[in-house]
């Protein structure tokens, strides 16, 4: 099988591990930068060039492009789909997952529990947005935040106002969300591969922070995956159309809430916590999908 991993940084842990595992199984792997592709449509149909030369030679394309995915990279994924290539995850799901408002809409529409969330188009509506989520403290988020960098805690109306004003001045949209204090800076990250939750880790924020992202200095431990959490994570990935997903959940006394879905989940934390089989499960899944694709099953 010829595997093409689309990503902007080939040194990323997840990309390296998937490539390593694929090569170990004698698959041909190329890690390619989406920005080196030229997309063509002409009388002959859909075509592609990579670094100025006609491109063929991919059986399975893995889009390891997280919430930072650009319009160009999305167009590339759609172009590949239009040429009937097998792309994991599909373009529509990448689009849903990169936008926290869009994913919360999909989760809520399908009856999945999420923190109360509001989207205020401009300053006039900020107070209403705060009320809609139960008032401060609230979390204010940039819709395309990753690694916890666009996620802020506002303890009062004044703090919320000044954060939102700053974001609006920079022409960023903001999402206002109920702050789940009972989670105490801890969340569950569940890895879903091909509609199956395969494992979970508990991430804990460093002292003085509420964000549990490893990039913010969070710690990670292996966690038991209850049937309830596994089911929620699988449904969350499913309603967003993701074949492979990292689903974040916050625990409350009324049960877990789905916080967000990640389309290109890292799994360094899983490996650090002793869960070593993620890369292998991902490659198993690529092989399974490729078999189905070749025999016309998909």
Ligand X SMILES: Nc1ncnc2c1ncn2[C@@H]1O[C@H](COP(=O)(O)OP(=O)(O)O)[C@@H](O)[C@H]1O
Q: Would you tell me which residues interact with ligand X (CB under 6 A)? A: 115, 139, 141, 145-148, 151, 177-180, 183, 187, 205, 210-213, 248, 250, 259-260
Total number of residues binding Mg ion (CB under 5 A)?
A: 1
What's the token pair of residue 136? 């401060």
**How far is 147 from 140, CA to CA, in rounded Å?**
15
Q: Least distance in Å: CB of 55 to ligand X?
A: 32
For Cα atoms 66, 75, 71, give the angle at the middle one, nearest 5 degrees.
55
Which CB, 87 or 257, lies closer to ligand X?
257
Q: Least distance in Å: CB of 67 to ligand X?
A: 6
**How far is 121 from 173, CA to CA, in rounded Å?**
7
Q: Least distance in Å: CB of 192 to Mg ion?
A: 14
Which CB, 120 or 261, lies closer to Mg ion?
261
Which CB, 1 or 142, lies closer to ligand X?
142
Pick from ligand X, Mg ion, none: which does 183 bind, CB < 5 to 8 A by kind? ligand X
Q: Applying CB under 5 A, does 248 fall inside the site for Mg ion?
A: yes
Task: Evaluate the CA torsion angle 77, 25, 276, 289 in order and state its sign.
Answer: positive
Neighbours of 261 (CB within 10 A): 29
Question: From edge to edge, which strands make up the β-sheet containing 53-54?
Answer: 37-42, 45-50, 53-54
Pick from ligand X, Mg ion, none: which does 66 bind, CB < 5 to 8 A by kind? none
Judging by beta carbons within 10 Å of its beta carbon (0-12, 13-18, 19+), is residue 161 exposed, middle or buried?
A: middle
Q: Least distance in Å: CB of 31 to ligand X?
A: 23
Which CB, 67 or 120, lies closer to Mg ion?
67
Which CB, 124 or 254, lies closer to ligand X?
254
**How far is 289 from 34, CA to CA, in rounded Å?**
22
Pick from ligand X, Mg ion, none: which does 22 bind, CB < 5 to 8 A by kind? none
Which residues, at least 6 apart from 9, have a Cβ–Cβ distance to it below 8 Å? 15
Q: Least distance in Å: CB of 69 to ligand X?
A: 13
Q: Least distance in Å: CB of 213 to ligand X?
A: 5
| DSSP codes, 22-50 | HHHTT-EEEEE-GGGEEEEEETTEEEEEE
Pattern 172-211, Mg ion, x by CB under 5 A: ----------------------------------------
What separation in angstroms does the CA of 70 have from each of 75, 90, 110, 119, 136? 9, 15, 27, 22, 33
Which CB, 4 or 229, lies closer to ligand X?
229
Q: Least distance in Å: CB of 214 to ligand X?
A: 10
In the complex, the residues that contact Mg ion under the rule CB under 5 A are: 248
């Amino acid at each position: 099988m010829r595997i093409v991993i689309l990503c902007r940084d080939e040194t990323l842990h997840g990309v390296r591990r998937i490539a390593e595992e694929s090569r170990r199984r004698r698959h041909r792997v190329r890690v390619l930068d989406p920005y080196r592709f030229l997309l063509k449509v002409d009388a002959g149909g859909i075509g592609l060039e990579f670094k100025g030369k006609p491109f063929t030679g991919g059986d399975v394309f893995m889009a390891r492009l997280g919430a930072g995915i650009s319009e160009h990279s999305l167009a590339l994924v759609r172009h590949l789909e239009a040429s009937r290539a097998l792309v994991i995850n599909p373009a529509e799901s990448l689009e849903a997952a990169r936008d926290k408002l869009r994913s919360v809409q999909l989760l809520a529409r399908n009856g999945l529990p999420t923190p109360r969330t509001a989207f205020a188009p401009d300053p006039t509506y900020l107070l209403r947005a705060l009320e809609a989520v139960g008032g401060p403290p609230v979390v204010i988020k940039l819709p395309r935040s990753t690694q916890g960098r666009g996620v802020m805690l506002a303890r009062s109306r004044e703090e919320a106002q000044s954060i939102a004003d700053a974001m609006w001045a920079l022409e960023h949209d903001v999402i206002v969300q109920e702050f789940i204090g009972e989670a105490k800076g801890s969340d569950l990250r569940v890895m879903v591969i091909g509609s199956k939750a395969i494992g979970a880790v508990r991430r804990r924020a460093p002292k003085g922070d509420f964000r549990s992202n490893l990039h913010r200095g969070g710690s990670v431990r292996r966690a038991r995956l209850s049937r309830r959490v596994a089911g929620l994570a699988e449904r969350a990935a499913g309603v967003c159309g993701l074949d492979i997903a990292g689903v974040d959940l916050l625990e409350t006394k009324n049960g877990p809430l789905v916080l967000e879905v990640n389309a290109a989940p890292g799994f360094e934390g899983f490996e650090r916590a002793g869960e070593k089989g993620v890369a292998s499960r991902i490659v198993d899944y690529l092989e399974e999908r490729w078999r189905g694709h070749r025999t016309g099953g998909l």
